[in-house]
Structure 1
Amino acid sequence: MALPPGIPTLEASRTKNLTRPDNVFCTPAILERLRICTVLHDKRPTKTDHFPIQTVFDMPTAAAVRRPRKDFRRVDWAEFGRALTERVEARHFPTNINTKARFDQVLNSLMDDLQATIAEQVPETADTPYAKRWWSAELAKMRSEKERLGRIAFRHRATPAHPSHAEYRRYRNIYADNITAAKNDFWKAWIDSIDGKTIWDANRFLKRGATDGGRARIPPIRVPGEGGRERVLHTNEEKGAEFHHTFFLPPSTAIVPTGPYPKPLYDFKPITDTQVRRAIKALRAFKAPGPDAVPNEVYKHCADTLTPVLGSLFRATFTLQYYPERWKVSDTVVLQKPGKEDYTVAKAWRPIALLDCMSKILSRCVADVLVFEAEQKAMLADLQFGGRAGRTTTDSIHLVTKIVKDAWRRRHVASVVFLDIKSAFPAASPERLYHNLRMRGVPVQYVDWLRVKLSGRKTRIHFDDFSSELFDIVSGIDQGCPLSVILYAFYNSDLIDSADTKRGEHAVGSMDDVALVVTGKTFESCHDKVRRFMERDGGTQDWSAAHNSAFSLDKFGLINCKAQPKRIGLGPQLTLSDGTVVQPTDHHRFLGVLVDQALKFKQHVASAYARGSRLVSQIRRLAKARNGLTLPIVRRLYLSVVVPSMLYAADTFLTPIRKLAGHTRKHGSAGNIRRLAQIQRQALLVMTGALRTSPTDALEAHARLLPFDLLVDKICHRAAVRLCTLPKTHPLAPHVRRAGLKLVKSHRSSLHELLDAYRRWLAYRDTERIRPVRLHPRWTPRHRTHILADREAAVEDDARWALDGAYRVYTDGSDVDGGVGAAALLYAPGQEEPEVLQLYLGPSTRHTVYEAEIVATILGMELLRRALLCTQHA
């Protein structure tokens, strides 16, 4: 026992008797290192009768190194930009870089300027790992006074009537009341501070669940040892090596062909400053930076200063075929995978790659070109939906259900096999990627540049307070890179294309998730097609071996779909030639949607209900009637968090409620919508604080929310409009065209239901087809846009603008005396009087100024259209 005898550890609240119910026990080895074990009677916390016990051991531990962090939310960006511009202009950076040495010199000088400006202009965040945000200096003084009175009272513990005991008790109660008040005041202030910008902080707070907010620590990791025995890794160095072995797979040993390659489908063109500026504009603010410690905010606020220098560097990286070493180093942060049962295995953790922000801007410029040309030249697999412009995950679900229902209409059956590629991005073979790019017509300049970029990569793994040594990355595609999505689309397009659609095979892919849909007269014939698809030359198994991409056998899914599933049960199992048996199930999750045998989506509706109920329960924690979030904030949380999560892919599993001609009952997913509407009612009670017996329609009116069936109708209508605008190159386009022209009598797919529900208001033949990509990344607009802060600045700028001799268009929307209107003016060259268009939208109770601004822009475009003799750039 470490605590010496005779020392009391508790003072009874009523009798004030001192007793010893608490003890401290140590093993003999630890007891040898014991230095202090005593009771601190003067530091007893409030609302307890136990005294704290202080125990000190002589165990030297290495304290974590404090890493100062910069607070980029409190930066004066005008002053920051001025300081950076002075440094950059003093360098006189060249516009053309001809040697690798000159490239490194320019890059290092630019990084020095950025780091120096950050050190000078950006304040550091307060390092308070133990502080409570509600704590104050007054409470610290009161704690010192409480401890002083506690020492006095303990000295007179033998005299119960001594006045020091009453004084100590009174002051301790005051101290406890002040702590409670400080917590409440801080909570009220935080609740009151939540607005449209900080609402997402509240959402992150809710997502954490019931936790103390501490960071997850890496426990000892279990790995297989020699002789089948399990080995436990305790040191951070061992854990880091195991994470590197798990996250970064060895290179492929498959032989990669070397050609011949077809002629490129488009020409290589150097990166322009316009592309750089557009890539910087697309950066997301307040994201963790890479090893360079220069975040996206610096590039976004200083784009005018940095764009010319970055443009020179980015063009030189192609002409010199050079990728600097500092861009090849990344940080890999280890995070928990949510919902895992055992976190003592490395697979229960996932990596997050933090790349150099400057290199990500370059990758974004290249990715924009690859995406545009891939869509324009049809370079990717037709049924590849993941990461492509103009395509969504719901498109692939629509296609799967449409193929199955079409088979049912022919009195056929269908089998759907769900494939999941194991460690898709880390397992990708760079050499196979280069080959696929060349075979699909990507210019050799981009492929050679990628070869330089992906070679010699290194990463440092970070977890807890540990940073590992640099590890080599010899395979895979960087998941945090803007290029990763389009590169993997090229990488697995051969898998999607290997399906023979003429024989009833359809491989519907979305990145590493693939659904193989086969149709036939019997399930046995369907399974034969599955085996042929997987085992024939050029099939799934050949692709897997050639691309170093194994399929996760534990994630294989099989659904045997028949119009009357109760007659067959789950159907027969699928047995592959290698002995692998895939058991059929009644449902399987594909791209976030639970697809079932009968395509009724009952399981998914139950899942959506549970998800919505959980989110509303979390919001209830902050939306209490007293000291809670206000109704507008809760309403926005519901519409921005709960509705998108609960009604994700609603157009695939919910049918709008409507009346059909000749029918007395309403048609649509009335039962499912009625069930999900209960979630909205729960949210309405939270928003308004109303009684549970309050009528739903009254709550919806007070909260300004659409009735739930109309909310579903709005979502489905938006999806139907989008489907009607799909171009001919989209794989759903022919299905949408047929569904839009004719309503079938039996086995209607979600496409049939959607387009029939809005046939009166949405004519498929008259709807514009919108291409997924329309403008090349190198495109520059033929007009200049001036948006000024106030009227005086506009008048001053107009005098300079008028000297250009070009067409000038002025647009504005406003709310005057409760009326919202829009206007546009056009000054043609040589004309003093403008052309004017104006429109009164209506009262401000029904229209907004933002709506008027859009209408004013449309009016301005109409004025330009009317100027038929316009030959100059506007």
Structure 2
Amino acid sequence: MAIVKAIKEITPSDIPTAKHIKTGWAITPRNDKIKALLMGQENRELMIRAVEGESARLPERWVNYAVQGVESSYRTITGESIPTTIDDIVSEALSQTGIEPASCRPSRHGPTEGRTTWIISFTRPVRSFRLFGTGDYAHEIKKNSPAMLHDPGCLGYCKTSRCTRPARCTTCSKTTATHQGPHGEQCKDTPKCANCHGPFPATHDKCPAAPTRVNGRLIQPIKGELKFIREAGDRASEAIQPARGRQTGSTVETSIEITDGDIANTTEPVEHLRTQVKEADKTEKGHSAPWWTEDCRVAYKRHIQEKSDYGQSPSEATRAFLATVRKAKRTYWQQRIDGCNNDKDLYKLVGWHKLSFDQRDTPLVIEGRTIIAPLEKAEALREAILDRFSAEDDLLEPPPLDNDPQTTPLPWDTYISMEETERYVIGVSSTSPGPDQVTVRLLKACWEHIRHLVLGIYRACMEQGHYPAAWRTVEVAMIPKVGKKDKSSPRSMRPIALSSCLGKGLERIIARRIAHTAMAFDILSPQHGGALPKRSAMDLATAFTHDVEMAWSRHEHVSMLTLDVQGAFDALLKNRLLHRMRQQGWPPLLRKFIQNFLSERRVRVRLGNVTTPVHRVACGTPQGSPLSPVLYTLYLAELLNQDRKLRFGYADDINLYRVSHSLDENVALLAEDLKSINEWGAANKITFAPEKRELIHLTRQKGLHAPPIQLEDQTIHPIALRRGKPDCAALAWGVKHVAERAAQARKVANHLRSLANTAHGPPAGSLRKAAITCILPILLYGAETWYEGRTKNPRIARVSRKPTVSTRVGWHLTTIDQALIAATKAILPAWRTTPNAVLLREAAMPSAQVALEEAKLRFAVHLRTIDDKHPLTNRTTLPLVIRGRAAGNRRIPRSKVQRVAQLLPATPRNVLASPHFSDGSRQDPTQGQGKDIAAQNFTIWWESLGQETITVFSDGSEQQINGTRVVTYGYAIYQGQAAVATGQGSLNALSHVFDAEAIGACRGLKHALQLSLPSQREIVLCIDSTSVIWGIRGAAPASSQWAFLQIHGAMEAYNVKTRWAPGHMKIVGNELADQLADNEAKDPHQPYGMAASPTRSGIRTVGRRLLEHIRDTWWKDKSSRLSAWYTQWQLPYDTRRTPAALWLPRRILAKVLMIRSTHGDFEWYHRKFNHEDTSECPCGRPKTPEHLVFCKRATTHFKKWPLRPIVPPRTRQEGLAYLAQLIDQPQEFETFVKVTNSFYDE
């Protein structure tokens, strides 16, 4: 615009573009006439003054030359080293070529060890030259024009300016000279790509034959790859034709029938094309080691030139090469560790401790035959694992596709919404892709373009009961089993099926619906787990522990027998499963889908980098499939339903037990049970592995014998006779369990210690996150089964006895503490003698007692909120006393489960509800808007509403009034812009604003539905809590679940929607609802209905308070034994968040810990441990923690101190006060260290 204002003859349209370049600005005139006008002498001077430039000139063509290896400095006659400047290069180039360079600049690339590459530009070509007689001769830099799609033209990827090939049609790829009829977009012929020959238009974006850019270079397919791609494309083009014709009748249908063949035609050709392209690209390519550097290359070249003969000592060049390689490796891995700045890199580092030798190098021994070749090993594993079972024992025919007349049919909904599809396809964590190599990440990237296609395929599959054949081909990865010592046995490998991510999305939908229906209609035993919501293996283990404790309280003995189904998933027989599902009442359409899912399955086995050809599988269901576990649960349901009290099952593992006053009686009963189970297995062709049967006796009495189970063909001897102690809540096997878990945790902790030291390694905050997420779960696994606290109430309460007795878990806590201390030493760059309590506090890591108490309280919340059909629900209920003076009261708790459940108040139990997906359930309620803009948009929308729209505003309040906690809600109902009804109420004090918002919305909606308003009305819930909106649109949260479920029921029957109404933004309805909630808080009413009970969030708050008390008590006890120096800092003990100091550089953090604990490079420390280190600072004063602010090296830079006092500290108290202020703000302490450089060893 400055140029336009300066030159009156031109307008803004005469200069359409202007962009900034390295030498100034480049403008583009509209035509040559405008260019001549601008470059006139008078206008040129006006233009230069307008933009405050130096000159204006037309563009020139530069010829660029690169001169490598020019010395970065030169020496004068006196021997002085002077750096080479641009002026020196310009004058030297002028003297060598006789032409003044247009530009001269150093290259950004190339070596920097005393030599530089210069880029010199001239206005015309010059002969080759050198600079200062050193380095290489100049060579011209020529840029090759990249290959690009020649459209219009030959439609290939070529250099268009040199192409001589004939032009082709952009649809069918025929040459325009031979094409009949219109070509291009009007072409009516079958589409065919000119490059990959696939059934797509010639210019489609996803062409596998298109060049790919790798590291900035354009890589084109080689001749062999292009041949495979085009052959696969030709086959796909032929296969895209309809599978069979469709007869045309005289009637007209308004819908299009979708058959299995149509679905196959949609999925199979594309999958086949992608598979062939991937196979064509599988060429073995070498790659250099990531640590290999230019120094390594130079050293290796010299090593080869001076290589010693065999038997002679290594040459100096060889030694230098080996030293260079060691240094490069050390530097590379140190940079990898120090550069860990995100969670992905962090967990990669943590996973290094799991690395072991390559399984491909281990020979495989099968029937005495040793197999070494990788491909032969893969084929042998396939035969030994996947083909060990056959379908000979299966029924000849599947059951008829109708309902069993003796069974009530189960409900089944075939509708799938877009929200549900997104949740189970791209709303999952990234899983390994199948043979098509399509990842979840790729699906997320292109979801907007393919979501309707995917939804259409899913709906067609559900309506037709069809599973596409393209998704039935899986790649089986052989993974070594953990804990197997004999790596040469096929039993040491676990086959994991990697199927298509699109197929797994549909499987998740089916599996979730089957699981919820089976649990809701009591198809499965409550003690049968595996792939079921709200059920875990630890729940079953805890339930069994309760049964043992209750039997011990009755002075009875327990005998348990564990069984394992042989083959399990690989031995599942399709027709027998379908017959069982028919007897259970599953609808024909689902059984048709399962039949399709298990039929014509094909696998290829991958072992390392080799993959076998595709083979058919006779029976079984793929391990790793989301649908397989729940199908296997249905397969074994009949066995567990035979005894719902004394049998437990999880996946393919079964536990049955007996209780009596005699172990011999238990053994006899178990023998009968095992006999009936074997008979059932023989009738249903299910085999139980004899070598995996284990018998354990559990008793409190001493001196008892351990009888075995006598069968006709086998004697099962007990592997252990466990004797529990009368006052021990942790059962006898807890000792071994804790020892094994602690050993695993110490292994990870020691690995973390190897990654970091005082100067190098990831930040302490990152290592703390690794310890919290990787070490604590290992230690706490199963804690809910054996831990209930350090003490418990006695079995018999007497006045003369103590109110509590020890649970004798001191050894358990000590063992776990040792692993946690090892973890804190990995986190912190602290000295070895630092007290353990200080390490735990500084790392914000919980002690064993604190961590176990937190797990216990978390389990208590779980016990209070589980559904009625959960196996632990009845076990937590205390029975009533029937006789005696205490008749009518509850018995005292007699098991750990009962005692833990009593820690928290009772709350309404949740129900097992199916996932809810409404419109917008996966969209952010705020839509990315701030509160100001959202409030304005909401007001505009609300004021435009007519009388047919009802809006319900709700708000919650949580206040402390006169020391009493009050939680209230209020709601206002509007028709158009007129208020028609209001309401308010109170909740139980053990609840929160979240619950008040949800219950207020629920009761406001119920009130609105009771009003005599137009029937075809739209009701919009206007809520200011995004968390509540997420719960209304999607799955109901656990807290106040009943309120969300009532809203979900109304949404299915009425036109109910939700909208975010930002709170406290002067929105009329919000302000009224907020005022109603405040009025209720001032004069609260008695809560009624479900709102009168505590909520899950409320009892969680009680648990947090109990945990805070335990944590404070523990720290108070430990800190009383610490030094007065450390306690003077008055540091709190908080394990909930990462301290800011842990994000300091490790070298700086080490100094912070030294000052706080005085364990480090100080005078008293060296004197106590008789160190030879100097005890004085270089300034001559003793090394003390507070000396940091008195040292001359620090006071010299006093003006640069952060948080600087008026005058430098003079007394010890002033120095400590300033030091405490610095340490409280870690970033300021880091600044102080950098500006003063005052540490003794730096």
Q: TM-score, normalised by structure 1?
A: 0.72
Query: Quick one: structure 1 residues 143 and 277, their matched pair in 2 at CA, closer, same or farther if it must change by over 3 Å?
Result: same
Cα 1:795–1:144 shift into 2, 3 Å: farther
1:192 matched to 2:339: yes
Query: 1:95, 1:291 → 2: CA distance?
Result: 35
User: Is 1:107 matched with 2:107?
Assistant: no
Residue identity in the other structure for 2:552: W
Task: Quote the residue 1:574 is aligned against.
Answer: 709
Structure 2: how far apart are the matches of 1:796 and 1:729?
48
Offset, 1:674: 2.7
SS in 2 for 1:738: coil
Hey, what does 1:277 align to over in structure 2?
A: 422
State the alpha-carbon separation in 2 of the partners of residues 596 and 128 from structure 1: 60
Q: Which amino acid aligns with 1:453?
A: F
Q: Which residue of 1 aligns with 2:117?
A: none
Superposed displacement of residue 397, structure 1: 1.1
What are the within-5 Å matches in structure 2 for residues 692-771 of structure 1? 692-738=832-878, 742=890, 744=892, 748-756=894-902, 758=903, 762-763=904-905, 766-771=906-911
Q: Find the aligned partners of 1:832 and 1:138 in 2 and give their Cα distance.
A: 80
TM-superposed CA distance for 1:826, in Å, is 9.4
Contact 1:658 1:666 (C-alpha < 8 Å) held by counterparts: yes
1:243 aligns with 2:385: no
Structure 1 spans left out of the alignment, 5+ residues: 1-67, 75-90, 225-229, 589-594, 813-822, 837-853
Contact 2:971 2:1004 in 1 (8 A): no
Q: Contact between 1:436 and 1:491, CA under 8 Å: does it hold in 2?
A: yes
Kindly provide the amino acid, as one letter, of the partner of residue 587 in structure 2. P
- Residues 624/462 of structure 1: CA separation in 2 closer, same or farther (3 Å cut): same
Alignment of 1:528-677 (within 5 A): 528-535=668-675, 539-564=676-701, 566-568=702-704, 571-586=706-721, 599=732, 601-658=734-791, 663=802, 667-668=806-807, 669-677=809-817
CA distance in 2, matches of 1:531, 1:579: 11
Q: Residue 586 of structure 1: CA displacement?
A: 3.8
Q: 2:826 aligns to what SS in structure 1? A: helix
AA of the residue aligned to 1:568: L
Q: 1:728 to 1:567 in 2, by over 3 A?
A: same
Alignment of 1:520-531 (within 5 A): 520-531=660-671
* Structure 2 CA distance for partners of 1:636 and 1:783, relative to 1, 3 Å: closer
Match of 2:641 among 485, 497, 504: 497
In structure 2, distance between residues paired with 1:618 and 1:512: 34
**Is the 1:654–1:672 Cα contact (8 Å) retained in structure 2?**
no
CA offset at residue 688 of structure 1?
1.8
User: What displacement does 1:458 show?
Assistant: 1.0
Indicate the SS of the match to 1:646: helix
Greater relative CO, 1 or 2 (CA 8 Å, sep 6+) = 1
Counterparts in 2 of 1:326-337, with a 5 A limit?
Answer: 326-337=470-481
| Alignment match, 1:19 | none
Cα-to-partner distance string for 1:762-813 (whole Å, 9 max, x where unaligned): 12xx312012x3135666679975334453875797588656767498999x
Aligned amino acid, residue 530 of structure 1: L
Q: Indicate if the aligned counterparts of 2:425 and 2:502 stay in contact, CA closer than 8 A.
A: no
What's the offset of the Cα at 1:416?
A: 0.5
Task: Give 3-state SS (helix, strand or coil) of 1:102's partner.
Answer: helix
The SS at the match of 1:754 is helix
Q: Deviations over 1:129-166 (max 9, x none)?
A: 55221222354245435655x37xx79xx9x9xxxx9x
SS at match of 2:614: strand
Choose the corresponding residue for 1:183, options 330, 342, 350.
Answer: 330
TM-score by length of 2: 0.52
How far apart, in 1, do the equivalents of 2:859 and 2:414 lie?
A: 38
Contact 2:537 2:650 in 1 (8 A): yes
CA contact 1:572–1:584 (8 Å) conserved in 2: no
Q: Secondary structure at the match of 1:638?
A: helix
The CA distance in 1 between the partners of 2:211 and 2:606, in whole Å, is 16
Q: 1:404·1:414 contact (CA, 8 Å) conserved in 2?
A: yes
Alignment counterpart, residue 427 of structure 1, candidates 542, 566, 571: 571
Instruction: Check the 8 A contact 1:381/1:497 in 2, yes or no.
Output: yes
Question: Match of 2:249?
Answer: none
- Distance in 2 (CA, whole Å) between partners of 1:140 and 1:783 is 53
Residue 310 of structure 1 and its aligned partner are, at CA, apart by: 1.9
Q: Deviations over 1:173-199 (max 9, x none)?
A: 498358515632552344332433432
Q: C-alpha deviations, 1:604-644, integer Å up to 9, x for none?
A: 22222222222222221113223123221221111111111
Three-state SS of the structure 1 residue aligned to 2:619 is: coil
Cα deviation, 1:833-864, whole Å, max 9, x if unaligned, reads: 9x99xxxxxxxxxxxxxxxxx98866754663
Deviations, residues 532-582 of structure 1 (Å, cap 9, x unaligned): 1122xxx31123223433222222111111112x3225x111112323333
Contact kept? 1:811, 1:857, Cα under 8 Å: no
Structure 2 partner of 1:221: 364
SS in 2 for 1:288: coil
Q: 2:292 aligns with which of 131, 135, 149?
A: 135
Question: Does the aligned pair in 1 maintain the 2:434–2:475 contact within 8 Å?
Answer: yes
Determine helix, strand or coil for the equivalent of 2:437. Answer: coil
Any gaps of 5 or more consecutive residues in structure 2? 1-209, 217-239, 243-253, 881-888, 957-968, 983-990, 1010-1018, 1020-1055, 1059-1242
Q: How does 1:674-693 map to 2 (within 5 A)?
A: 674-693=814-833
CA contact (8 A) 1:826 1:860 kept: no
CA–CA separation in structure 2 for the residues paired with 1:806 and 1:367: 38
Distance (whole Å) between structure 2 residues aligned to residue 479 and residue 138 of structure 1: 48
Which is greater in Rg? Answer: 2
Counterpart residue number, 2:542 = 398
Contact persistence 2:527–2:644 (CA under 8 A): no
Matched position secondary structure for 2:415: coil
Deviation of the 1:477 alpha carbon: 1.4
Aligned pair in 2 of structure 1 residues 464, 686: CA closer, same or farther (>3 Å)? closer
- Which amino acid in 1 is paired with 2:715? T
- Contact preservation (8 Å) 1:824, 1:856: no
Counterparts of 1:113-124 in structure 2, within 5 Å, are none
Asked if structure 1 preserves the Cα contact closer than 8 Å seen for 2:337 and 2:755, the reply is: no
Q: Distance in 1 between matches of 2:891 and 2:970?
A: 45
Aligned to 2:301: 144
Q: What amino acid sits opposite 1:647 in the alignment?
A: L
1:279/1:365 contact within 8 Å kept: yes
Is 1:774 the counterpart of 2:897 in the alignment? no
**Aligned mates of 1:632, 1:521 — CA distance in 2:** 55
Q: 1:614 to 1:736 in 2, by over 3 A?
A: same
Counterpart for residue 369 of structure 2: 231
CA separation in 2, counterparts of 1:548 and 1:455?
19
Cα separation, 2, equivalents of 1:112 and 1:801: 50
> Is contact 2:299-2:324 (8 Å) kept?
no
Partner of 1:204: 351
The whole-number CA distance in structure 2 between the counterparts of 1:809 and 1:673 is 52
Across the aligned residues of Structure 1 and Structure 2, the Cα RMSD in angstroms comes to 4.5
CA–CA distance in 1 between the matches of 2:353 and 2:666?
A: 46
Please give the secondary structure, in 2, of the residue aligned with 1:621.
helix
Deviation (angstroms), 1:708:
2.3
In the other structure, the counterpart of 1:364 is 508
Residue of structure 2 equivalent to 1:54: none
Tell me, in whole angstroms, the C-alpha distance in 1 between the residues paired with 2:294 and 2:971.
60
Q: Could you tell me which residue of structure 1 aligns to residue 590 of structure 2?
A: 446
Cα pair 2:570 2:620 within 8 Å, conserved: yes
Q: Residue type matched to 1:472 in 2?
A: R
Distance 2:501 2:329 in 1: 41
What residue is the counterpart of 2:487 in the other structure? 343
Q: 1:69 to 1:495 in 2, by over 3 A?
A: farther
